[in-house]
Amino acid sequence: MSQFLNDFVVGIDVSSEFSIVAMLAPTGELIRKPFRIDHNPPGFHKLLDILKKEEERLNRKPIYFVESTGIFHLPLFFFLKSNDLKGFVLNPLCVHSTKNFDLRKVKNDNKDAEAIARLAKYQDIKVSMMPEPQILALRMMTREYYAVSDRHTEMKNRLCTDLYLLFPGFLDVFSGPFGKTALAVLRDYPSPRAIREADSDDLTLLISKAGRKGLKWASNKVALLRDCAQLASSMPSESSLLDTKIKFHIDGIEHMQASLDGIESQIHKMIDSKEFPAEAKRNVELLDEIPGVGFLSAASLIAEIGDFRLFNSPKALTAFFGLDPSVNQSGKFNGDRNKISKRGTRIGRRILFTIAMASIRTTRNGAEINPVLREFYKSKCVSKKKKVALVAIMHKLLHYIYAVLRDQKPFEIKRPEDHQTWRTT
C-alpha cells in the first residue's frame, strides 16, 4: 500500500517550456481539470498560489511528484522546495508503466500528469529525493567531464584514421601517438612531404625538446620518421591535402584536453569549498584511498550515489547501479542466461568498469594493484568469460564501497580467510 494514500497529491508532467499539473484530493478525487503553468516567474507563482489555497481548503500540505526529465524538472522542483513544500522524483520507467492502465489509446500531457499523481498515490513505488544542490552540481560537472572525454576520444580516433591513410607507420614511432612529442611533430610537419623536406637538425632539436631526451634518441626518431615518409611517397599527391585536416584534429585534441583539465580543477575547487557538505567530502576521501580508485572516480561515484543513507544494503546499491541480475521466470520455466538489468546509473557503471579494470592490473614493477581482486578475477576466468568475470569484480567493488561508506573507515585489503578469523576466536 502506498504511503501517500491519504495525502493531497500533485502530479506534474514536465516539459522544457511548460508543465501540466494534476491534483488529487485525499479521497482520490481529481481537483479541477489539469492545468498548464509556464516555466517563468508568473507561472511558478501561479502554481504556488493554487497549492496554498487548496492546502487551506483541505487542511493538508501538498506533496508533489515529478518525473525525472534530465534538467527540465529542476527549476520547478527547487522553487517548490524553497517554499517549504515536500516533493519526490519518479523514475521514468515507473511512469511509463502506467500507459496501459486505460484500454483506450489516449496519450496527452493532461493524462500523463494525472497518471503521475495516481501512480504516486496508489502504487507502492520507489521514490527518490533530490540531492543537495552541491551534490547535484558535482554530478552535472562530473558527467560533463565524461561527455567531453568521449568527444576527446572521438577526435583522437579520427586523427588515427587520417594517419593510417596519410602517414603509415607514424603511430609506431612514438610510445604515445597523442603525447606532446608526437603532437609537436605533427603540428609543424603535418604530412610526409613536410618530413622529407624538413631540416634534420631542426627536426631533431624539436623532438629532443618535446620529449625531454637526448639528441641521440631524437636522431633515431628522425630516422624512423624519414622511413615512414618515404613509404608514404607512394600515396597519391592529393592525399597531402589532408594535412589541414590533421592540424584541425590536433587543435581539437589540445582544446579538449584543456577543457578536461579545467573541469577536473573545478571539481577539486567544488569539493574543497566550505559550502560543500563535509560528509560527502569525507566519503570522497574514503573512496579515493581504495586501490584502483582515483580522485575523479571517487568524486563521480559520490555524485551519482547522492545520499548514501538511502541504501540499507549492498544489494540496494547494486540495484542502483544496474548490476543486479534480471529475472526471467514464468510457470515452470526459469531462465538461466539472465543479464544484468542496466536499470541504474549508466555513468556509475562506466566508472565501476574502469575501476574494475584498474584493480586487476599490475604496475610497471609487477606489483598487483589489488591482489585479492586479481586472484578472484583469475579464478572466475577459468569457467566464465572475461566480461562476466569483470562484472563479478564490479559486484565486489560495490560491497567494498558500501562497507567503507557505512563504517566510515579507510579501506584495507583483506583476503577471504582473514574475514573468517572471528569464527575461530
Rounded Cα distance between 24 and 34, Å, is 10
**How much is the pLDDT for 424?**
56
Mean pLDDT confidence for 214-243: 80
Query: What is the band of 229 on the pLDDT scale with cuts at 50, 70, 90?
Result: confident
Cell numbers representing residue 414 in the block: 583483506
* Highest mean pLDDT: which range of 140-149, 176-185, 360-369, 416-425: 140-149
Dihedral of CA atoms 205, 208, 209, 212 in degrees, nearest 10, equals -170
What CA–CA distance (Å, rounded) separates 39 from 352? 37
* pLDDT, averaged across the chain: 87
Is 22 buried (19+), middle (13-18) or exposed (0-12) by CB count in 10 A? buried
The class (CATH top level) of 8-130 is alpha beta
Kindly tell me if the per-residue pLDDT of 98 is higher than 80. no
Could you tell me the pLDDT band of residue 70, with boundaries at 50, 70 and 90?
confident
Residue 353, pLDDT > 80, answer yes
Q: What is the pLDDT of residue 349?
A: 93
Amino acid at 380: K
CB count within 10 Å of CB 283 equals: 21
Provide the pLDDT confidence category of residue 42 given band limits of 50, 70 and 90: very high
- Smallest CA-to-CA distance from 220 within 174, 184, 165 is with 174
Please give the residue that has the higher pLDDT: either 277 or 130.
277
> How many H helices and E strands in the chain?
18, 8
Q: Which residues are within 8 A (CB) of 157 and not within 5 positions of it... i.e. 6 or more apart?
A: none
User: What mean pLDDT comes out for the span 96-123?
Assistant: 76
Report the distance separating Cα 293 and Cα 258, nearest Å. 23
**Do 9 and 25 meet the contact criterion of CB atoms below 8 Å apart?**
no
Q: Rounded distance, CA 397 to CA 13, Å?
A: 37
Q: Do you know the residue count of the chain? A: 425
Question: Closest by alpha carbon to 116, among 34, 2, 12, 28?
Answer: 12
pLDDT of 422 higher than 70: no
Contacts of 162 (CB under 8 A, 6+ apart): 242, 245, 246, 249
pLDDT at 169 (0 to 100): 87
Q: Which of 161-165, 172-176, 291-295 has the highest mean pLDDT?
A: 291-295
What are the beta bridge partners of residue 38?
18
Examine the pLDDT at 240 and tell me if it is beyond 80.
no
Residue range 360-384, pLDDT digits in tens: 999 888 888 999 999 999 999 998 8
CA distance 281 to 302: 9
Task: Find the radius of gyration of the CA atoms of the chain.
Answer: 28
pTM, full prediction: 0.83
pLDDT of residue 131: 76
Site of grid cell 542502483: 320
Rounded Cα distance between 323 and 315, Å, is 9
Percent of the chain with pLDDT over 70: 91
